[in-house]
Structure 1
Amino acid sequence: MAVDKRACVVVLGDVGRSPRMQYHALSLAKEGYSVDIVGYSGSAPHSDLLFSPKISFHYMNPPPSFISIFPQFITYFLKTLWQTWFLVWTLFWISKPNFYLVQNPPSIPTLPVCWFIARVNRTQLAIDWHNYGYTIMGLTLGPSHLLTRFSHFIEAFFGRFAGINMCVTKAMSQDLQKNWGVCATTLYDRPAEIFRPVSLSEKHELFLKLGKDYHEFSSSRPDDTLLTERFADGQVRLRLDRPGLLVSSTSWTEDEDFSILLDALDEYELNRSVNSSDYPPLLCVITGKGPLKNYYGKLIQAKEWQHVEICTPWLEPEDYPKLIASADLGVSLHTSSSGLDLPMKIVDMFGCGLPVCAVGYDCLKELVTDGKNGMIFKTAGDLADKLLAWFHGFPQNNEENRQLYRRQLEVYQSLRWHSEWCKVALPLLSPTN
């Protein structure tokens, strides 16, 4: 008799902006699980989730906007009550799963509620530790704030009750064990199949599509773009006079200081003005949504660059991987509030074969090897030096060095999410455990 395998994936956030939890759901469905996903609507989830007969979405209602008129502490309390009610209600009506797989952070009210529901249903609680909620809260409220300390208590207390724990780095696994006695298995992020190198024709079609909405990609000729050209016989070629394409993605939050990139681009602009034959103009594409986007948007608008342009589009899910695969260099400004997680954006870039300039912190070495698959910087001046070295003589001169980095990533591209998940996560989540 076949065992009915069910899983409930809980994301107290926008499901479409939670790639790792989407990957969990897809892998569970591939391995025969019926999967219920609980979270908020917003950005479109991956199309494979939407069309999978094994996956069902249960969207929660967001808290009413009027609660924001109250003082911060009261607003937080009312928001938590609202989320608790809807989360309890939703989880009670879902068929009993073999386990609840919960994303952390956020910790409140997710961990207490899911622990309670798991106890009532006599089933497993699994936590996937992406970071610590209290360290993220500390960025805005300060480490000694009452809410920060309360979040720390909730994570430390309820984290010990989970029967299954996974996390994103070895450094986090060691920290969980040392400080809270939580034994967590490291499941590294790996790129999904959609993050892969693309052909010249795919790049050209993407740039044509983007050019309809963003003039930065367009050309005076309808069949050409700023970066590519198509000939009468249908052949596509990269333009020799094209700008360097720099790409970054962000949630526009406090743990990513984009002033570092803007200052580095100031220096690049100056060097390009003085040595125009040595460096190409740059097109810098920054994708994503988040609370600080308007703040940085005003800083970008104030720039009077002649040789650097910044474009901040929101891309359709299928276009984002193609953009990364079409770029010449990626930039990551993720610093991690805890210093213990790794940027998913770098994983995606590596999957596309794109080398990365990344701001350095302690555990980044678990992903980026400086001088081999990417470059690590500390300051805006460091980043400017990396950009100037990378794009010197672009696109023809120094190309051998750029290709050397890309060849280093070929091995990484062979390590995909589902195979890693089956090796690490599936034995933990198996209903026989």
Structure 2
Amino acid sequence: MNMERKKNVKIVVLGDIGHSPRMANHAISLAKCGHTVDIIGYGESDLPHQFKLSPNIYHHFLVSCPRINWKLLNYIWKTIWTSINLFFLLAITRRADALLVQNPPAIPSLIVSWVYCKLIGAKLIIDWHNYANTIMALSVGRRSRLVALTKLIEKTLGRRADYNFCVSKAIKNDLYDKWGIKSQVVYDRPGSHFGSVSLSEMHDFLKVLGEKKGFQIFMDKNDQNSTLLTALHPNSSPYLKEDRPAFIVSSTSWTEDEDFSILLNALQDYENHWRGGNQKKLPKMLVAITGKGPLKEYYLKDIECRKWEHITVITPWLEDEEYPLFIGCANIGISLHTSSSGLDLPMKIVDLFGVRVPVLAYNFEALKELVIDGNNGYIFSNQEELSKLLQDLFEGFPLNESVIKNLNKMKKELESFGNWDKIWNSTCKPIFD
């Protein structure tokens, strides 16, 4: 491709664009370079705020497929519907020099994208977030013919792509060892709107949450100038209250591949410790769980039945620009992500690191590329380990100096985490240029 002229790039996301931060970041970075971007996907939630500010990004929404009750027939029908819908949008939008497609899912996005690129002579770039075949195996079993077909499609089209990006060294090595596919690691990093949240920002944001957004939990009933976590000095500068609770956040898609009972049972241990005599001096705890998904109501009923006295759980839904500020107010984040392949890395941890919040993360093969145990967070393998971490981390909080020192040390380590622009410019920009 000619280095001097700006390119037309299409991005295919067979998912909700608003919940595809990595592909959204690709679009924003391409637009910053002056390339014209047509991003195709579902419009189930608000688009990133940066899309609205860029004249170079155009979005095109897929139409959701009407559902058929029979599972196999529904899958076939959805594949046909989506293939026609996707190819139609590719055909009627501007001719592309390159097409970047997210994988998974492989069917039909990889096939349709490859056919389109062959017809018009565009470059095909696949961004490997995980394997579609390993995700499918969770629901239909590894020996399913559908899993075998998906694996064959990924292998064949991965080899025929002009370039391949991937999210971890583990996937890079696996792609090459298993299928001979060469790829470039592009680590996820948060966008430019993520960063450390100052005390002033925290205080102002929590007041807005409490007063305007309806989250009464963040209001101080005795002082309208204070919040649950912060108060003001006589000179109007904010400070952290000495009687504040521990504040932890977790994000989830509420699906079967993320066992949220691990966190709930660890919190039950925390509550039981209070009821059993409180040998350790533990603070009250506020737990915020963000996200939407099919099992949300199931877990909310479970939480309600537990009748905790010292733990409060909230499940806020936040706007795109509010999310970094909200998670940046937390003392620590929790990730229960378990990879179907063991090779991908959770974006929720990247977001937390972007606002300098350390994490407690469920262990799997590739996690060590992101979380360094005892450095920027801690790794656990079961509810007992998570329970112990929560009690050890917050014993005597917030007056225990060693606890605060440990939390601050981990936050300090995250100052060098980096940002998306730096990584993208060094790895992806030369390919598009």
Structure 1 length normalisation: TM-score? 0.95
Equivalent residue number for residue 24 of structure 1:
26
Q: Aligned runs of 1:216-227 on 2, under 5 Å?
A: 216-220=217-221, 221-227=223-229
AA matched with 1:368: V
Q: 1:275 aligns with which of 270, 274, 278?
A: 278
Shift of 1:153: 2.1
Mapped contact 2:249–2:287 kept (Cα < 8 A): yes
C-alpha distance after superposition, 1:231-258 (max 9, x if no partner): 5643322221111000011112222111
Equivalent residue number for residue 204 of structure 1:
203
AA matched with 1:27: S
Q: Aligned runs of 1:291-306 on 2, under 5 Å?
A: 291-306=294-309
Shift of 1:324: 1.5
C-alpha distance after superposition, 1:256-304 (max 9, x if no partner): 1110000100111122332287110110001011222122122112111
The 2-side partners of 1:304 and 1:374 are apart by 29
- Give the 3-state SS of the residue equivalent to 2:297 in structure 1: helix
Shift of 1:30: 0.9
- Structure 1 stretches (4+) deviating beyond 6 angstroms? none
Equivalent residue number for residue 360 of structure 1:
363
Equivalent residue number for residue 404 of structure 1:
409
Mapped contact 1:229–1:237 kept (Cα < 8 A): yes
Q: Aligned runs of 1:303-342 on 2, under 5 Å?
A: 303-342=306-345
Mapped contact 2:101–2:110 kept (Cα < 8 A): yes
Q: Aligned runs of 1:354-393 on 2, under 5 Å?
A: 354-393=357-396
- Give the 3-state SS of the residue equivalent to 2:68 in structure 1: helix
Equivalent residue number for residue 120 of structure 1:
119
Identity %: 45
Equivalent residue number for residue 256 of structure 1:
258
Unaligned runs of 5+ in 2: none
Equivalent residue number for residue 88 of structure 1:
87
Q: Is 2:42 the partner of 1:37? A: no
Equivalent residue number for residue 129 of structure 1:
128
The 1-side partners of 2:306 and 2:139 are apart by 27
Q: Alignment length, in residue pairs?
A: 425
Mapped contact 1:11–1:37 kept (Cα < 8 A): yes
The 2-side partners of 1:209 and 1:36 are apart by 35
Equivalent residue number for residue 167 of structure 1:
166
Q: Is 2:407 the partner of 1:423? A: no
Mapped contact 1:139–1:254 kept (Cα < 8 A): no
The 2-side partners of 1:367 and 1:45 are apart by 27
The 2-side partners of 1:372 and 1:234 are apart by 35
- Give the 3-state SS of the residue equivalent to 1:203 in structure 2: helix
Shift of 1:345: 1.0
Equivalent residue number for residue 242 of structure 2:
240
The 1-side partners of 2:60 and 2:82 are apart by 14
Q: Which moved more, 1:126-135 or 1:190-199?
A: 190-199
The 1-side partners of 2:78 and 2:112 are apart by 14
Shift of 1:116: 0.2
C-alpha distance after superposition, 1:108-152 (max 9, x if no partner): 110000000000011110000000111111112222223322222
Structure 2 length normalisation: TM-score? 0.95
The 1-side partners of 2:144 and 2:312 are apart by 40
Q: Aligned runs of 1:5-154 on 2, under 5 Å?
A: 5-64=7-66, 67-69=67-69, 71-154=70-153
Equivalent residue number for residue 215 of structure 1:
216
Q: 1:228 aligns with which of 227, 230, 236?
A: 230
The 2-side partners of 1:68 and 1:308 are apart by 42
Mapped contact 2:137–2:144 kept (Cα < 8 A): yes
The 1-side partners of 2:298 and 2:177 are apart by 38
C-alpha distance after superposition, 1:86-120 (max 9, x if no partner): 10100001111110000001111100000000000
- RMSD of aligned residue pairs (Cα, Å): 1.5
Mapped contact 2:16–2:42 kept (Cα < 8 A): yes
Shift of 1:203: 1.0
Q: Which moved more, 1:182-191 or 1:229-238?
A: 229-238
- Give the 3-state SS of the residue equivalent to 2:334 in structure 1: strand
AA matched with 1:215: Q
Q: Which moved more, 1:290-299 or 1:330-339?
A: 290-299
Shift of 1:214: 2.6
- Give the 3-state SS of the residue equivalent to 1:68 in structure 2: coil
Q: Which moved more, 1:402-411 or 1:12-21?
A: 402-411
Mapped contact 2:283–2:394 kept (Cα < 8 A): yes
Mapped contact 2:280–2:395 kept (Cα < 8 A): no
Mapped contact 1:252–1:290 kept (Cα < 8 A): yes
Mapped contact 1:197–1:353 kept (Cα < 8 A): yes
Mapped contact 1:272–1:280 kept (Cα < 8 A): no
The 1-side partners of 2:269 and 2:10 are apart by 49
Unaligned runs of 5+ in 1: none
